[in-house]
Structure 1
Amino acid sequence: MSDKTPPSEFAYTHKVFNQVPPLTGHNLYAGDAALRETVEHNGGHWAEDDLQRYGEVCGRPEMIERGYLANEFKPIFESHDRIGNRIDLVRYHPTYHQLMQLALSEGLHSAPWTDPKPGAHVVRAAKYYLHSQLEAGHGCPVTMTFASVPSIRLNPKLAEEWLPKVTARGYDSSNRPHTEKSYLTIGMGMTEKQGGSDVRANTSTATPVGDGAYELVGHKWFMSAPMCDAFLMLAQVEKGETAGGLSCFLVPRWRPDGTKNPLQIQRLKNKSGNVSNASSEVEMRSAFGWLVGEEGRGVNAIIEMVAVTRFDCMIGSSAGQRQAALQAIYYAGHRDAFGKKLRDQPLMQNVLADLQLEVEGSVAITMRTARALDHLDKEQEKLLMRLGTAVGKYWICKRTPHHAYEAMECLGGNGVVENFITARLYRDAPINAIWEGSGNIQALDVLRAIEKTPAALLAWYDELERSAGADSCLDSAIAGLKKQMADMDDLEYRARHLVDQMALTMQAHLLVQGGNSAVAEAFIASRLKNTGAHNTGCLPRGLEIETLIERGDPLSV
């Protein structure tokens, strides 16, 4: 063959067609009907322009790329510098810091604390929901910084010094004393290897050294975001002249005199998901810390932080569901199979609509909980918040892994390839279900809350009563819930089932109140009428399937 002879057309084997281009350059807020409606319904209408702006920011190609790179290049731990000094340094890819800078400059760690007003928590939740779709791992220090504020306030002296920098809108990743920085982040180290969720089994000790300061000795099995500037930790104080018992402390990375605090990282955990977030194992070797709250009341000091972190788990898992559903819907709308678009095929429509229904319910209960956070001065809302974070965290976070898998399957083989986001969503999905108390812990917490404060359950029922008469099936489900809750036999054994019913009836009620009949009717028909065990994509006939899919289409603005 002459070198001028073109190759045969049959020599071309790699012509790319019927593949779906990446979804970028879209507005995550404008294309999310469920989010827009629930923000309006729960009092966040005043931030519409800002949410539209941030939705556009979070859809930019460069922002999406940062999420990929932060996961591709995992954090690296360096215990010592090159000449042998202990430094306990964790190095991150620059994109991790860029995402942190974006989150903190938007006030995702502080806005409701620094500018409290009706709808502040709703708007912050909506922005965090948009932001979390970029990347989940860096959300851990954002959440912990946000949630630390109520606990740090228990020590007025600490609050005066630390909170202006904790809540300031900015990010400083440098490893230096907090006195030299204008922006601070807060981490958390509660879990010990022998106790796990049972923090009262903690063996770490704290010894008073005067002026509200203590020295801590012990080992933490999980300490999140080890490059934060300080950490809220639990340790046992020996009873003596003081009250003693399990107490809460703020432990800084650097001592007040500018020397390194002996908070020594042993290793980073090699996790299956959430890999951009460095989770560490740490030893405290007479580490310096300040008492937060009172001695012996460490759980009380930390409980408000835990409630807020659980709420952020709801936001993060709802965001994961949304990103998974929109990827599936987008892909199915661009991919041909068996002579027509996947989205036009009835069985795929059933799956896509079901994925979107899950998002609708998750967003509804998350934003209703945000509204309760905005009105904790009202006893009814405070009681709803008490149950809502446990019920919502249990249900949404537990539903997300299977939801992520079903969305991944919609992309076929591409769905499990790491440079498609669905693979990362699947790996990340179990984290929120486990972090801040796994499913059993949440279900048992609901029972404890009801036993301790029976009015909380009455507040839950009062909320459900607002939809009385709207749908006979919902009425029947609520009546069934009340009957089951009144049965005191084997409560602990039945706890998961009870919390399931609390979540489903509340989601159905909120969707009825949301005013979109197609969504509410489909949710009730598939979640309350169809009570048997079934997989995603088993919606009954007669529902407005295309309406549901259209609501989830990221390009349907």
Structure 2
Amino acid sequence: MAATTHTVTNQAPPLVGYDVFTSDRALTEAVERHLDPGLLPAAQEELTELGLGAGSAQVQEWGRQANENPPRLRTHDRYGNRIDEVEFHPAWHRLLGKGVGAGLTNAWGRPGGHVRRAAGFLVWTQAEAGHGCPLSMTHAAVPALRTDPELAAEWEPRLTSRVYEEGLRPAADKAGVLFGMSMTEKQGGSDVRANTTQARPLDGDGDGGYLLTGHKWFCSAPMSDAFLVLAQAPDGLTCFLVPRVLPDGSRNVFAIQRLKEKLGNRSNASSEVEFDGTWARRVGDEGRGVRTIIEMVAATRLDCVLGSAGLMRQAVAQAVHHAAYRSAFGGLLIDKPLMRNVLADLALESEAATTLGLRLAAANDADTDAERAFLRLAVPAAKYWVTKRCTPVAVEALECLGGNGYVEESGMPRLLRESPLNSIWEGSGNVQALDVLRALQREPEALNAFLQEVGKARGADYRLDNAIKGLLTELADLDGIEARARRLVERMALVLQGSLLVRFAPPEVADLFCASRLGGDWGTAFGTLPHSLDLAKVVQRARAVV
């Protein structure tokens, strides 16, 4: 082809070779706000190293390779022996190894651990989201195991290790392990009390052993070393630890029936598994399975918020980057008033999600009665709303790149396919909304803690004050409360985000958020912000500088 017909002009360079952490002002400010000054320098150094990795060409290539070469199931070896192994592309193992090495499976027991890990998870998930699943479940398994001190003493050092060792071997022979979770069944889904998998106690087993029989409809990351599983014991639904390899080196019965073919999250394996005399150890008391595993679910729900916030941040960073280089109709897109409105609107959504996610992580670090009560409402409300906002952000950000954004090479389609997942994982939107209602009805201290939090910004913005007043009116009316649950939870999340931004964000960000999300000066699509406010500063704040 002649050079004169194939001269490439007016194309944005790839967003690569940048620091994902330090270029995210909302995130860096949140880390500074929530960490003790004595912890800050080391955390910033650690997060900057992770951010440079996430923004590097090498790691971005790993993300592409892991998604274009999805996992493959090998049920048998060449001799006909059942092995039930899942093969991953080397890029998956590299990503997972970097995540484990960065401490993303451990926030427990170190000062500021949850804030540092949350920021790292939000940064690293922007490189590739699928491998965040085993990182999240491994981290979240710790509080469930702590219900049994003996189990925790055995497994926690392996779970919190910064060493990643692939391959199935006895856990005692590995410096670090990964955990998965397998709760749902085809007949019940989120209604885990409808589970039919049976757990039969073994007489004379001094290790609290049981044999499980049943079929699990979703089992994420089936290559993990062990799983937390719910099954029906004689006294009711109970939590169990199921190792893939038994201490003597033999394989536990863990028949992977098939891998799910999913819309997105293609680098990660999700499977159906069959238990048939599978050895398991009880975690917590019989009949207390949901209570035992609830703290794990709370931790993974927070990771759904952080994962969606990370995905939104990456989508916005790509959109702003493109607009900063692409010219149309006589000027750069970023300087066009209508495009600036779209970008500022997307940036608001991203910053609100990041600010809320880090506030929840800080509450976990504080671990006081008041903060635990606050989390009881704030986590399901945030999980509901932030994950719901992820897909429209991804769609609009993709459109900012025009036809280029619709092409796989841009990376935007992968973000779009990934965007609905966190809304489904760990309980769909309706499950979150009903969980908020349950907390409101049974735990009045949770509402009190929530209102105290949003009340810290009272008087600073009249639109926020009016929104709080409207929320209180909604809460006082119990008529048809279940049918109104989504509306109520949406308002709770928006009021909480507004309160945080009024207190901590720059004035132009808080003003635009309160005007649009709380004051009603907004359309039904992105790019409908009031034009009279300072949109340019909001867009510039969201730009990732290479």
Corresponding letter in the other structure for 1:33: R
Measured against aligned partners, the alpha-carbon deviations of 1:294-353 in whole angstroms (never above 9, x if no partner) come to: 000000010000000000001000000000000000001111111211111111000000
Residue 120 (str. 1) matches residue 116 (str. 2): no
Deviates more, 1:43-52 or 1:285-294: 43-52
The structural deviation recorded for 1:531 is: 6.3
Match of 1:27 in 2: 19
AA of the residue aligned to 1:64: Q
Shift of 1:189: 0.3
Alpha-carbon distance in 1 for matches of 2:456, 2:329: 47
> Which deviations, in whole Å up to 9, do the C-alpha atoms of 1:453-492 show, x marking residues without a partner?
0111111111111111101111010011001111010110
**Cα distance per residue 1:193-226 (max 9 Å; x no partner):** 0000000000000000132100000000000000
CA 1:543/1:532 → structure 2, altered by over 3 Å: closer, same or farther? closer
Give the one of 43, 50, 53 matched to 2:46: 50
SS at match of 2:419: helix
Alignment partners' CA distance in 1, 2:4 and 2:279: 68
- Alignment CA distance shift 1:494-1:532 (3 Å): farther
**Aligned residues of 2:522 and 2:529 also touching (Cα < 8 A):** no
1:284 aligned residue (245, 264, 275):
275
Return the offset for 1:507. 0.4
Instruction: Return 5+ residue gaps in structure 1 as ranges.
Output: 1-6, 239-243
State whether structure 2 residue 510 is matched by structure 1 residue 520: yes
| Matched residue SS, 1:235 | strand
Q: Name the Cα RMSD after superposition.
A: 1.3
Q: What SS class does the counterpart of residue 282 from structure 1 fall into? A: strand
Residue aligning to 1:436: 426
The answer for unaligned runs of 5 or more in structure 2 is none
Deviates more, 1:523-532 or 1:78-87: 523-532
Distance 2:451 2:4 in 1: 66
Runs of 4+ with >3 A deviation = none
The equivalent residue for 2:531 is 541
User: Partner amino acid for 1:116?
Assistant: R
* Contact 1:44–1:123 (CA under 8 A) maintained in structure 2: no
* Contact 2:521/2:530, CA 8 A, preserved across alignment: no
Check whether the contact 2:50–2:102 (CA below 8 A) recurs between aligned residues.
no
Q: In the alignment, is the contact (CA less than 8 A) between 2:170 and 2:248 conserved in 1?
A: no
Q: Which residue of 2 aligns with 1:3?
A: none
Name the CA distance, whole Å, in 2 between partners of 1:435 and 1:492: 21
CA–CA distance in 2 between the matches of 1:183 and 1:550?
42
**TM-fit CA distance, 1:44:** 5.7
Determine the C-alpha separation between the residues in 1 that align with 2:48 and 2:99: 16
The Cα of 1:355 is off from its aligned counterpart by 0.5
Paired with 2:428 and 2:177, the residues of 1 have a C-alpha distance of 29
Task: State the match for 2:376 in structure 1.
Answer: 386
Q: Give me the whole-angstrom Cα distance separating, in 2, the residues matched to 1:506 and 1:495.
A: 16
Larger Rg: 1
CA contact (8 A) 1:352 1:537 kept: yes
Is 1:326 aligned with 2:314?
no
Partner of 1:405: 395
Q: Which whole-Å CA distance do the structure 1 matches of 2:128 and 2:341 have between them?
A: 28
Task: Indicate whether 1:503 and 2:498 are aligned.
Answer: no
Q: Counterparts of 1:210-359 in structure 2 under 5 Å?
A: 210-211=205-206, 212-238=208-234, 244-359=235-350
Distance 1:77 1:416 in 2: 30
Aligned match of 1:241? none
Measured after TM superposition, the shift of residue 57 of structure 1 is 2.1
Length-normalised TM-score, structure 2:
0.97
Q: How far apart are the structure 1 equivalents of 2:152 and 2:437?
A: 33
Following the alignment from structure 1 to structure 2, what is the Cα–Cα distance between the partners of residues 398 and 247?
A: 31
Following superposition, the deviation at residue 271 of structure 1 comes to 0.3
Q: Deviations over 1:486-536 (max 9, x none)?
A: 101011000000001001111010001104111100100111112665101
